[in-house]
Structure 1
Amino acid sequence: MDPRLEEAAYAGNLTLLRRLLQEDRLLLHRQAIAAAHLSDSPLHIAASLGHSDLVREILAVNPELAHGRNREGLSALHLAAAQGHLSVVNELLQYAAAANLCLATDNDGFMPAHAAALQGRLDVLTVLLDACRESSRAVTSQGDSILHLTVKSNSFETVQFLLNTAGENDELLNSGDAKGNTILHLAVARKQLQVGIPDPN
């Protein structure tokens, strides 16, 4: 990556990015081709650090960068979701096909909603589930649902939100992960007795 482009991404320096694009209007297009699946793109860096203005500018020049993945299979949306950068998540969802972006999985089968759930990012998780309802039922390659990950993150508020949106007979309440653990098993094992999980019987 051009060191000046990398500097702009890390610093969130919109002025520098615009100057670089005036010098070379195809800079972001070439960067996307050169770095595909190898490293973090400028969009990955800006998204993970919460530089929403820079993210908006990058996407205005090349919206296809929203679909780029690094070597771990992470998109910019995964990184922004995990870090809780709601403004960046909203920018990314505006510039790409939201359903495709929300359903993209990393190398471990995590969607952006899984990344938000694991980190207890309730505001981001709410936006992602609104943009792509089907991600609420998806499981990772380890068999973890969003509810499993939320219990594992010890985020009581997020668990309560998901339980309130799930019906009492929702199969997610009784589904097991790869080891057969339901969310009730996980909550008891973690001594999360305040989690009000409905009795399946």
Structure 2
Amino acid sequence: MDPRLEEACHTGNLGMLHSLLREDKLLLHKFSSNITASIDNPLHVAASLGHTDLTNETIIKNPDLASDLNPRALSALHLASAHNHLEIVKLLISKVGSHLCFLKDKDGRLAIHMAALKGRIGILEELIKVCPESARALTYQNKSILHLAVQFNSFETVEFLVKKLGVDDDINDLLNLKDDKGNTVLHHAVARRQLQIVKLLLSNERR
């Protein structure tokens, strides 16, 4: 990546980006498309660091960058979700499309899985709202967003998901789901001695 472009993306310098685009209108089109790239593209960097204006301009100039995966097989939506940049999550989906919610990393994790793993409740709420099907998606290890929330050891995240998904009766299927090692969410919580989460899960099963 051009060092000046890299600096603009890291600092969120929109003026510098505009200046570079005046020099080369195709600057943002010189990156791989729809494959796992060898470097982060400008959108990966901007989305990861929370630079909303620069993210927006990059999407306008080349929306295809939103479908690219970085060397860790993460999309811009994965990165924005993991780093809790809600406005960028909204921007990516509204400007590019909800299909971004189904891009998978090397472990089969979607953006919603990253949010669950990191305990990003605001991001989870947004992704469930705009793409509810993604809440039922599983990783390649057959783990659900609840498995990952328990792995993060966040009672607040598990509590939010149980209440949110319970509205549509999705929660029972996810609670009973076994990962590739035969463990349910409750198994993981018990193994980790997460007593508060265990009580929450058991109370939900008795309803």
Q: Which residue of structure 2 lines up, in the alignment, with residue 56 of structure 1?
A: 56
Of 188, 197, 200, which residue of structure 1 is paired with 2:190?
A: 188
C-alpha contact 1:168 1:200 (8 A) present in aligned 2? no
Q: Which residue of structure 1 lines up, in the alignment, with residue 73 of structure 2?
A: 73
1:3 to 2:3 alignment: yes
For the residues of structure 1 that align with 2:86 and 2:153, how far apart are their CA atoms?
20
Aligned-partner residue type, residue 205 of structure 2: D
Q: Which residue of structure 1 lines up, in the alignment, with residue 112 of structure 2?
A: 113
Q: CA deviation at 1:145?
A: 0.3
Aligned-partner residue type, residue 105 of structure 2: D
Q: CA deviation at 1:200?
A: 6.0
C-alpha contact 1:102 1:131 (8 A) present in aligned 2? no
Residues 1:69 and 1:143: Cα distance change in structure 2 (over 3 Å): same
Q: CA deviation at 1:171?
A: 1.1
For the residues of structure 2 that align with 1:160 and 1:36, how far apart are their CA atoms?
35
Q: Which residue of structure 2 lines up, in the alignment, with residue 177 of structure 1?
A: 179
Q: Secondary structure at the match of 2:141?
A: coil
For the residues of structure 2 that align with 1:121 and 1:11, how far apart are their CA atoms?
24
Q: Secondary structure at the match of 1:71?
A: coil
Q: Secondary structure at the match of 1:170?
A: helix
C-alpha contact 1:28 1:62 (8 A) present in aligned 2? yes
Q: Which residue of structure 2 lines up, in the alignment, with residue 39 of structure 1?
A: 39
Q: Which residue of structure 2 lines up, in the alignment, with residue 95 of structure 1?
A: 95
For the residues of structure 1 that align with 2:170 and 2:106, how far apart are their CA atoms?
32
Q: CA deviation at 1:109?
A: 0.2
Q: Which residue of structure 1 lines up, in the alignment, with residue 26 of structure 2?
A: 26
1:13 to 2:13 alignment: yes
Q: CA deviation at 1:87?
A: 1.2
C-alpha contact 2:47 2:76 (8 A) present in aligned 1? yes
Q: Which residue of structure 2 lines up, in the alignment, with residue 199 of structure 1?
A: 205
CA RMSD of aligned residues (A): 1.7
Aligned-partner residue type, residue 133 of structure 1: P
Gaps of 5+ in 1: none
Q: Secondary structure at the match of 1:178?
A: coil
For the residues of structure 2 that align with 1:90 and 1:136, how far apart are their CA atoms?
17
> Which digits, 9 at most, give the CA deviation of each residue in 1:95-120, with x for residues without a partner?
1121x100110111000000110000
> Which digits, 9 at most, give the CA deviation of each residue in 1:137-178, with x for residues without a partner?
111111110010011111111101111122387211111111
Deviates more, 1:163-172 or 1:45-54: 163-172
The alignment's TM-score, normalised by the length of structure 2, stands at 0.91
Moved over 6 A (4+): none
Q: Which residue of structure 1 lines up, in the alignment, with residue 135 of structure 2?
A: 136
The alignment's TM-score, normalised by the length of structure 1, stands at 0.93
Q: Which residue of structure 1 lines up, in the alignment, with residue 151 of structure 2?
A: 152
For the residues of structure 2 that align with 1:124 and 1:139, how far apart are their CA atoms?
18
For the residues of structure 2 that align with 1:13 and 1:169, how far apart are their CA atoms?
43
For the residues of structure 1 that align with 2:2 and 2:42, how far apart are their CA atoms?
10
The number of residue pairs the alignment matches comes to 199
For the residues of structure 1 that align with 2:43 and 2:123, how far apart are their CA atoms?
18
